Structure 1
């Protein structure tokens, strides 16, 4: 028997496979705006950190947590939030997430102490954890299989370029107002999207299986500990006992999660799905993509602002061309996927992404913008080739009633990859910079040694007050930064090339890339 608030899976208008209905287009629009909001919020504050530190007195450690507190709660709660959406209704969870996100974003408007801002970001991350999987699962439930690939492709393009939107909008806001305007805009947009949530259809699984509490606890613990370890690694060192303990605890909790799920009649996530080559390789590809691209963003933004002296808005505009090939290719790849299969798209996309990142080593402190744009656009083509096929592989090989969990797997892979990418790039960049700037550190007064050795931004601040020797110090520090950036670029490129080899072996070809057999090809219940 169907649930009392459900409707027939498809009406006559929806069963038309030649085009989208206005209701579907509106649902896609709302879903894309919501996912763009939560992804943009990850990057939006990066351009405002100097102003925020000056106005609030936040320490470097507090600035780190202002950025990473959002990522930590978001990543840890994605899978449980996706399962709740499947069980209780995806639209309702989307609106709940938007409400919590908006409340979290509004806190710094009223209290701007560093501790309150960190707390607000953690609250916003909780809300984002409910929003992200709901946006994708609403689409997979609201579009028939014949139309689903194109909708997923557009969603993937928006999700993949949302960070650029965050940098661009925050740069525009900072040209006219203070950093508080970023929080105001996030709260206002979430409020508007919350109201639009009443205008879209919902869906939920018809089989009300009991919530998997042991699985929920173990996976939230696993992801939370592992992400926390990657966040702390650049500051403490990868071999620091606390970092090793956190990451080992995360791995142990992940193993416990797998063992628990194999024994559950109604698991939160059927871990046997990873034995499906399309599902497994798609998840691995997404993790690698966001590891590489967020690592690239980490040092590219610093390079533009600290080496080339771009303003926050100029640096955001410089990165904007990345969004064009990502959006265009993501929308088109679902049409190509049935003809070529996952293997060439995922492996070639990873290789091209690696080439783009490797081209960053050609840049110096006198590079022109076309020279900067070339590696970014090449990397964007690589992302565009593989991001939509990877997401499609995940959602098409998961039962319809578990689309919220499938969406959460997609998003969790992105978030874990992003956390590792920033930590890896940050660690290599910091080590390379510290090693190459050491001769300058030895030459400056004792009071300036620590800031000059810590970062390029601090070294440039010292150089401003160093008199005639300041420009020489600034130039030396910039060259040291470029050496560290080259080392980070090579490391990330090697990760991409290794991933390309693995995906060329693991990902299925054309015949193995078709959706897994389903008991019912109907859409999920719609209320």
Structure 2
């Protein structure tokens, strides 16, 4: 955000501004693009069993279908913002939307694991481009108090898209097959491109410096470290590859921090993290996203592979999470008028943890009717956190740094999904292995075949074989899901504690600063 625009925002009149028709269209187009990219983050959850069975994919491969998108999205989000400043918001937005349509088509036509994962990664890069440029267009197209309202609506749509994904995916997978969960993006993206012509909010600054070293180190560090976490369930945490990736990724990220600290034009202003409320907001968002969305993938697989639901039925089974989330996501922002950020965010994270506890007692024949109340609680808590924690992040930094702060905060959400899926996937695989250890010892089977069975069950492919009944495999996966629920509950509890200790009411902070002055 430039000094001029920041001054304009501070000096704007307090009354609500009336939006022009072009501004309303801009908000609708940018929010729609954000919704499309957000849906694709989670729409794969109900499609994964079908993708895995069709392409014979391993657990690691299925995790990469989810993580490749989110990882590349988060890794290049800041760089996409720099490119938008240099080459124009509308231009990069259009490139991002078209790239999203093309990569979605490649995914839908994929015949192998490698092509699909690479296309998902490129799709994540396209999503980063349209997200960064879209938010920049909103900031430029909505001066004054209208900017906060526009960004609030945008954030709500983006948050809701994450939970709508599984339901839409269920409808498409059941009615037309898993490939249509991606092909549907083609007409939607083309409609967004057509509607975006002539919109306000464009900007270009050829003087914005680049930081190629920062981009290279951050992206490489995140990729290497996450690959190590995802490979751990199959190769073991002590394998040379996994240890090498974890150490190598840590070194690359440390070099990134050093380069940003010493660079003249850093990609990331590290001084932002000296603000406790800002760092606390990011960590709170990271942990609650890892908890909430990390569980969703494995729960969707459980409904289909253990309970025998169709993809559509699995999407409908998740409605008790989706509908409360849709209600409480905008409600969280309204509650900030009466309660502190710390209170609302801590309450939301705590409610999420409470909603997860009943899932720790699941059995392979557990009824959805008994599970639904817990899912409602989970949706209520997950929705409450979204707007307050983003408000805390942006409210904790000076106005002239709001743009950069927003970019960093938006990159935390997909990275939280990446880590949540990777870590909780490891927890599930280890519990599945432990549950099958005794049954496998009673059958005549070699070590390689036993490992293949464990990997197949962890990936949600349950097929009776080598004397192991389907019920045994159902019980093993369910046992793994209960461990995932424990891990998710622990993450949500950590999110509540972090919010309680680091987030403060914005007005209280202002009073404190006034007192110090």
Give the shorter-chain TM-score range. Answer: 0.7 to 0.9
Aligned to 1:92: 91
- Where 1:208 maps in the other structure, the secondary structure is coil
- Where 1:508 maps in the other structure, the secondary structure is coil
Q: Displacement, 1:512?
A: 4.8
Deviations 1:119-151 (A, max 9, x none): 322221221121223333433443345344443
- Where 2:191 maps in the other structure, the secondary structure is helix
- Where 1:294 maps in the other structure, the secondary structure is helix
Q: Where do 5+ consecutive residues of structure 2 fail to align?
A: none
Q: Does the CA-based 8 Å contact 1:396-1:515 persist in structure 2?
A: no
Aligned to 1:201: 200
State how far apart, in whole Å, the 1-side matches of 2:143 and 2:439 are.
63
Aligned to 1:296: 295
Q: Displacement, 1:267?
A: 2.8
- Show the 5 A alignment for 1:231-380: 231-380=230-379
Deviations 1:355-384 (A, max 9, x none): 112221233233332322222221222222
- Show the 5 A alignment for 1:489-508: 489-508=485-504
Q: Does the CA-based 8 Å contact 2:86-2:207 persist in structure 1?
A: yes
Deviations 1:220-276 (A, max 9, x none): 233333333333333333343323332333333333333333334433221111122
Question: Residue 509 in 1 paired to residue 510 in 2?
Answer: no
State how far apart, in whole Å, the 2-side matches of 1:229 and 1:46 are.
22
Q: Displacement, 1:293?
A: 1.0
Q: Displacement, 1:105?
A: 1.5
- Where 1:414 maps in the other structure, the secondary structure is helix
- Where 2:197 maps in the other structure, the secondary structure is helix
Summarize the Cα distance change of 1:266–1:487 in structure 2 as closer, same or farther, 3 Å threshold. same
Summarize the Cα distance change of 1:259–1:284 in structure 2 as closer, same or farther, 3 Å threshold. same
Aligned to 2:226: 227
Question: Residue 212 in 1 paired to residue 211 in 2?
Answer: yes
- Show the 5 A alignment for 1:351-500: 351-397=350-396, 405-446=404-445, 449-456=450-457, 461-463=462-464, 473-500=469-496
Q: Displacement, 1:50?
A: 4.0
Aligned to 1:74: 73
Summarize the Cα distance change of 1:119–1:393 in structure 2 as closer, same or farther, 3 Å threshold. same
State how far apart, in whole Å, the 2-side matches of 1:50 and 1:110 are.
17
Q: Displacement, 1:505?
A: 1.2
State how far apart, in whole Å, the 2-side matches of 1:120 and 1:459 are.
23
Q: Displacement, 1:196?
A: 2.1
Summarize the Cα distance change of 1:385–1:460 in structure 2 as closer, same or farther, 3 Å threshold. closer
Summarize the Cα distance change of 1:170–1:240 in structure 2 as closer, same or farther, 3 Å threshold. same
Summarize the Cα distance change of 1:15–1:92 in structure 2 as closer, same or farther, 3 Å threshold. farther
State how far apart, in whole Å, the 2-side matches of 1:513 and 1:380 are.
30
TM-score w.r.t. structure 2 length? 0.86
Q: Displacement, 1:397?
A: 4.4
Summarize the Cα distance change of 1:248–1:493 in structure 2 as closer, same or farther, 3 Å threshold. same
Q: Does the CA-based 8 Å contact 2:85-2:208 persist in structure 1?
A: no
Q: Displacement, 1:326?
A: 2.5
Q: Displacement, 1:80?
A: 0.9
TM-score w.r.t. structure 1 length? 0.85
Q: Displacement, 1:418?
A: 0.8
Q: How many residues align?
A: 505
Deviations 1:282-307 (A, max 9, x none): 21121112100122112211221122
State how far apart, in whole Å, the 2-side matches of 1:475 and 1:111 are.
33
Task: Say what the alpha-carbon RMSD is for the aligned residues.
Answer: 3.3
State how far apart, in whole Å, the 1-side matches of 2:153 and 2:351 are.
21
State how far apart, in whole Å, the 2-side matches of 1:29 and 1:516 are.
39
Q: Displacement, 1:424?
A: 1.6
Summarize the Cα distance change of 1:266–1:198 in structure 2 as closer, same or farther, 3 Å threshold. same
Summarize the Cα distance change of 1:255–1:145 in structure 2 as closer, same or farther, 3 Å threshold. farther
Q: Does the CA-based 8 Å contact 2:358-2:371 persist in structure 1?
A: no
State how far apart, in whole Å, the 2-side matches of 1:382 and 1:161 are.
14
Q: Does the CA-based 8 Å contact 2:26-2:196 persist in structure 1?
A: no
Q: Displacement, 1:74?
A: 1.9
User: Bigger shift: 21-30 or 494-503?
Assistant: 21-30
- Show the 5 A alignment for 1:89-238: 89-108=88-107, 112-144=111-143, 146-204=145-203, 208-238=207-237
Aligned to 1:520: none
State how far apart, in whole Å, the 2-side matches of 1:147 and 1:336 are.
20
Q: Does the CA-based 8 Å contact 1:92-1:202 persist in structure 2?
A: no
State how far apart, in whole Å, the 2-side matches of 1:122 and 1:325 are.
31
User: Bigger shift: 165-174 or 444-453?
Assistant: 444-453
